[in-house]
Structure 1
Amino acid sequence: MSPVPESGRAAIALLQQLDGLLQQLQRNGRLPEDAALVLPGSLDDELVGPVERLNLLVRWLQQATRLGRTLADGDLQVSLPRDNPLLMPLKALQANLQHLSWQACRVAEGDLNQRVHFLGDFSTAFNAMIAALQRNRAIEEQLKTLTEVLGEGVCLVDGAGGLTFANPEAAKLLGLGQERLSAPTAPTWTGRKLLDFFAAAPAAAAQLRQALEAGHDFHSQDLLLQPAGGVPERPVALVCRPIWQEGQYQGAVLAFHDISAQKGYEKQLETLNRQLQQQATTDALTGLANRMQAERLLQKEMERANRYQHPLTVILLDLDHFKQINDQFGHAAGDMVLRTAGALLRDNLRDSDSAGRWGGEEFLLLLPQTGAQAACRVAEKLRLALQQADFALPRPVTASFGVAELQPAEDGARLTARADDALYRAKGSGRNRVELAERES
């Protein structure tokens, strides 16, 4: 084999250097910062130019790998020199990534009209994400419209009970003005504790607090809402439903409305019911129990007396010569006598006793836990009180009394019949007296 010329050995040495650099590039993905082809001292003049151009290519490769890594690390503002042809694809990629970054910022600000058409599969995925966000926004807009037209206050609280959303009706009820979370900046009340508005009803508020802290359902019509801004408190009906995601409590949605009118109607209805109850059970003239109520009270006291083996005595009294009072002084005077007698009876009985108008000028008195002799003393006291009372008439008003104590196995009809018999004995014995019913064997 003939010897290799000196120029050939120099060329081979250059190729070996170049091969080593390419191997490093292949192995490490980059070239050393000081990578360069070293010119042999005996290099022919015709190889100097190619070697210089190869060194320029090496520098371009160094620059391209370094700047490519910089772009890969997210620095989209790195300056790419214009004199390196290997950087042209990177410059195009940089421009695309910069535009994509701008589009992402626009999306973050709410612009869902952005589309990407220059990054292949990534473009498809990005555009699919935008379509999903548009669908979600449409749903949110529908829900927002729904909550705005509702006459119900709707709000959301986070896991700590802070307000994160309130529809216009909720903001109105809470006294928060017309600020809304959909505005460019969050309302000033964002994060305010919802429980702060319900301190006026401690018991119901404590139950609401427990529900919010534990993530439980809750509903109540006993809450008092204290709106902000000095607005008077008002009763509300409230429903609370917790929000759970993947086993984690995220907060709750609450719906509530003002029930002031309802509470007013309920109060009116209660008053009306009391009035109707009073009318159904009370004698309009005397204010005592009417005949039907007196019979119910008698049955109730008899059951209690039999259950506990306590004595029970009834007194029937009848105003003497009442027809003469009506005939001589008129029915207005008769009504006055009945009213005065009723008040006198009521004022001279114990709280446990009962008095009722039995019919016409006749009255029934119920004395629980009272025997016959004690009841006779009560009757005598009442007889004297009536005789001495001022009825504003030129004649006294007196009454006759019949007293009967409940016997074993006796019903109400028989008990009052015995008292009535005693009453008529008093009438037949000259009136204005007390007679005790005889016990039956």
Structure 2
Amino acid sequence: METGSAGSTVPSSLEVAAAGQGTEEPEKISHPIADQLFGYLRDVLYYPNRAQLDPASLPEDFREFGEGLVFFMEMLNETRALATALARGDLSCPLPKPDNELASNLKSLHATLKHLTWQTRQVANGDYKQRIRFMGDFADAFNQMVIQLKERQDALLGEIETIQKQRRDLERSNNLFEIITDRLSEWIVVFDRNTGERLFTNHPVGNFLTNTSLESRLYDVLLGHTQQKEESDVEKSMVFSLGDDEVIQWFSATFYPLHWYGYDAMAAVLSDITASKAEIDKLEGVAYRDALTGKYNRHYGMNLFNEWIGQRRHFVVCFIDIDKLKYVNDVLGHAEGDRYILQVAKLLEAFSENACLCRLGGDEFMILAADIDQKAAEDCLEALRDGLVAEELTTQDGTSYRGSFSYGIVEVATDNALPSSEILSQADERMYVYKKAHRMERRDTPA
């Protein structure tokens, strides 16, 4: 019911229409103010662009109501504008006023969408830690999408790293080959490690080998070294010799596996080390040989002795001491003493072809012989000593004397538990026991 300016109650068009429901011919009552306000509401809902109402033009009793309708229209228009912008995906639109409670839910949705947009940008920038804790099914779908994106990125990065590593490996192999071929004077040969097919050489083989007939043997050595199932099984370098009865050449080879135009190939860089090998042998001779006798020296003998101990080999160690060397040096001269030492050294060579004869210094020698027992070693040394005693040695001025030596033997078994020092001490003690037992014999031997 509406109240007119005279205080009478005026039914609105809506009330009249409602009251007439259910009658066959409802009475149609019209009131200008009600029609004006009803038309304004209709325009606000359906034709907002033409909706206009000036509350000041209304009767005084309707002005406050008119102002409320205008305020409602403003909130509705703000809400409608926000809803339209959200429908278009426009999150930059101005928001309704703070006191617009009609748009409060839409404003919350706007804030949520803006935050979701920010999270989506973070994900696009690679931040896969972003998660949504609200929005129900959409949150589950979003979070699952982020997880899958992270997994796919990790897989893609793994593939990229694998490809890059393969490229780096290939570049390294190619660069290495280019460096070798361009800057080194050594002979470089590339061959298929499966078939032995020769793919590349940087110099004619005749410039490398003194005898070109050795070419096939050279390739056989290289191929035999590299024809294995796994590249990791191939030694990175090797030293070998080729030659005949007249000339022997020594080579050093370094190997580089690589892919060569689709071949599973191997590059070998070879250097002729014949001269350096001869120099090394010469230096080893100085380091390991006794200057007077040319036999191995104490350093070499002790190293070999300890090596055999570590390998748990079965062998004998023999200590030999030349008898009466001091007498020969003092009476007959040091030159004759050296001849005496050389005579004994030559005699001891006959102990065994496979034995190692060492001069420990002065009048002492040591023999290391593998796979022989103590009894056989004693028989051999006793026979050699008897031969020396039976032979009359003569100086350059015609003075004659007889030589001899004393020895001590220790047999070392494979299950030996004694330290090397104890074994040597036992051999030394047995040698002095032998020397003491034969002292009278030496006195009866003319010098």
| TM-score, length basis structure 2 | 0.39
Q: Rg: which structure is higher?
A: 2
| TM-score, length basis structure 1 | 0.40
